[in-house]
Every structure is written in structure tokens, then in C-alpha cells.
């Protein structure tokens, strides 16, 4: 596998919590421009893998590289700066803040960090300029996901599906290249589900790469060209949707528990 066309490479990833091994020697890579599925029974280690890739958890061992740079153990905002972000299985919006305020929170840390390194004349103007840029990007994202009419609504008043749209819109505030989606369709009604999938495909056409955790095999079959199957913390199989669903070990992992 050529690192040049596989921006994200995970090697021998392991994560233990006390006596529990959540991720057990998992290795895989994600092809540039792909919509890759990551599937596996509950508890297979999918979310923990995302956490280890994006700096939410420090892996016990193993290596994560992004465009050849070792990002293992880096902070989430540093990884986001490189162009790699994730969404959470349980959307993480702040209910007491408006949708727009939530959008503006997303990349704050990064802007702040850039500014502390920029103690130069004209700093004040640059702060204002960046705020305006962020605000414009926030509106663009809200329009793209068709939740701009909810900009002034408290995030806590959104429906489950709208929260998922906000979660994705927020993740895109840093203009990432690779996006890890942890069950973005869970609890989303069929209309919004279609909207979200359309948006994912549109973003792909613009050059984004996605790794998608999803339980619904129909969604995986209809949207992903490559699928990675995790089971008990390890990669059990990978291939086209047809290949993995006809793989006896995969059928066994799902049906045999
Ligand atoms: P999946 O997303 O595939 O359903 P997870 O990665 O959430 O699986 O969980 C994998 C295993 O790791 C499960 O046994 C889960 O209980 C355990 N686990 C996940 N996060 C933690 C944590 N923060 N502390 C302890 N155990 C955890
Ligand atoms: Mg999970």
C-alpha cells in the first residue's frame, strides 16, 4: 500500500483500559478520496480506534500516520490542524449555546494558538479578520447542511437528526481533508439520512476522504467502495462490500456473536 494514495495509515494499534483490550493490534489504511466503511459488532473497538486516531485517547501501542507524519499521541487540535477530524457517536454540541455559537467554538483553540504566536503589530486587526472569516465559514456550513434557519436556536432544542447535522457541520469548520464519522446516521430520520449521505457524497466530489462507522449494512453496501471489518479489537477482513459480506468469518462474527 502506497502511503501517497493512503493519507491515513494505522499500524498495530492497541488500546487497553485496565484489563479490557478495546483495540487489539489493528492495522488498516484509508485511500485518498474514498468513502471507506468501518463496521463490526457493538464493542468491536470502532469508536476507540477513532479516539486513538484523533488524539482523544493515547494508544497503548502502535502508530498512526497522516500523510507520512507520525501523529500518534498528538493533541486533537494539532491533528485537526493537519486536516484530520472526527465526529462523535454522541453529538457533542453545547445545549445552552446557539447553533451559530456552537459552530464558532469548534476551531477557536486553533485560532487562539496561531495568535499567541503572532504577537506582531496589527494583531487586533487580524483577530477581527479571523473572526469574520470564521463567521462566514460557519454560515456556509449551516447553509450547506440546511440548518441555517436554526442558527439562533439553542442547540439543546434541536431534534436528534438536526444535532447530527450540526455535529458534521462543526467538524467541517476546520476545513479538514479526512473526516472520521462515528455513526452519523444513528437516530436520524430517513429524510435527514438521505440529506446527510448526499452531503457526504458532495464533499467527496470536492476532495474529502471519509471513514464511516455505520451499523446499517444497506448504507454501507450502497455508499462505500471499501469496507474494513473489526471484531474484538482487530481487523477481521476488508474488501469491497460484496467481498466482506460474503466472507464466512464476517458472517460468523455478526451472527455467532
Ligand atoms: P464500538 O464502537 O465498536 O462499539 P468501542 O470502541 O466503543 O466499540 O468499545 C470497545 C470496548 O472497549 C468495549 O468493550 C468498551 O466497553 C470498551 N471501552 C471503550 N471505551 C472505554 C473507556 N473509556 N473505558 C473503559 N472501557 C472502554
Ligand atoms: Mg462505537
Ligand 1: lining residues by beta carbon, under 6 Å: 17, 20, 22, 40, 42-48
Longest dimension (CA), the chain: 65
Distance between Cα 43 and ligand 1 center (Å): 6
Classify domain 3-93+171-255 at the CATH topology level: Rossmann fold (3.40.50)
pLDDT of residue 91: 75
Mean pLDDT value across the chain: 90
> To 5 degrees, how large is the angle CA 82–CA 59–CA 227?
70
Q: What is the pLDDT of residues 70-107, one digit of tens each?
A: 999 999 999 999 999 999 877 778 889 999 999 998 66
Q: What is the pLDDT of residues 149-194, one digit of tens each?
A: 999 999 999 999 999 999 999 999 999 999 999 999 988 889 889 9
pTM: 0.91
Helix spans in the chain (H): 46-53, 76-82, 99-105, 108-116, 123-144, 160-171, 190-205, 217-223, 241-245, 248-255
- Assign 128 a pLDDT band (cuts: 50, 70, 90): confident
**What value does the mean pLDDT take over residues 228-238?**
97
Q: Closest ligand to 38 CA?
A: 1
From atom 7 of ligand 1, which residue's Cα is the shortest distance away?
Answer: 47
Q: What are the CA-CA distances from residue 94 to residues 1, 30, 90, 155, 236 (Å)? A: 40, 31, 12, 6, 37
What number does the ligand 1 atom closest to the CA of 48 have?
6
Strand 8-17 relative to strand 20-30: parallel, antiparallel, unpaired? Answer: antiparallel
In the chain, what are the domain boundaries? Answer: 3-93+171-255
The three cell numbers of residue 231 are 471484531
Distance between Cα 59 and ligand 1 center (Å): 13
ipTM of the complex as predicted = 0.98
Q: Coil, strand or helix: which one is 91?
A: coil
Amino acid at each position: 500500500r502506497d502511503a501517497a494514495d493512503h493519507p491515513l495509515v494505522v499500524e498495530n494499534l492497541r488500546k487497553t483500559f485496565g484489563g479490557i483490550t478495546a483495540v487489539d493490534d489493528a492495522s488498516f489504511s484509508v485511500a485518498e478520496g474514498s468513502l471507506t466503511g468501518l463496521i463490526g459488532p457493538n464493542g468491536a473497538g470502532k469508536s476507540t480506534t477513532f479516539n486513538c486516531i484523533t488524539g482523544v485517547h493515547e494508544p497503548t501501542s502502535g502508530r498512526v500516520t497522516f500523510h507520512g507524519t507520525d501523529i500518534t499521541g498528538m493533541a486533537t487540535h494539532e491533528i485537526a490542524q493537519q486536516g484530520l477530524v472526527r465526529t462523535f457517536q454522541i453529538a457533542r454540541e453545547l445545549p445552552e449555546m446557539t447553533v451559530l455559537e456552537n459552530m464558532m467554538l469548534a476551531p477557536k483553540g486553533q485560532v487562539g494558538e496561531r495568535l499567541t504566536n503572532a504577537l506582531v503589530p496589527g494583531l487586533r486587526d487580524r483577530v477581527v479578520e479571523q473572526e469574520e472569516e470564521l463567521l462566514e465559514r460557519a454560515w456556509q456550513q449551516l447553509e450547506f447542511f440546511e440548518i441555517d434557519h436554526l442558527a439562533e436556536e439553542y442547540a439543546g432544542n434541536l431534534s436528534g437528526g438536526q444535532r447530527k447535522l450540526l455535529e458534521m457541520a462543526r467538524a467541517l469548520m476546520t476545513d479538514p481533508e479526512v473526516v472520521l464519522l462515528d455513526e452519523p446516521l444513528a437516530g436520524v430520520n430517513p429524510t435527514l439520512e438521505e440529506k446527510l449521505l448526499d452531503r457526504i457524497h458532495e464533499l467527496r466530489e470536492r476532495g474529502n476522504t471519509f471513514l464511516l462507522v455505520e451499523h446499517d449494512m444497506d448504507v454501507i453496501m450502497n455508499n462505500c467502495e471499501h469496507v474494513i471489518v473489526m471484531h474484538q479489537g482487530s481487523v477481521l477482513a476488508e474488501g469491497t462490500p460484496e467481498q466482506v459480506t460474503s466472507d464466512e468469518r464476517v458472517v460468523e462474527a455478526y451472527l455467532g456473536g
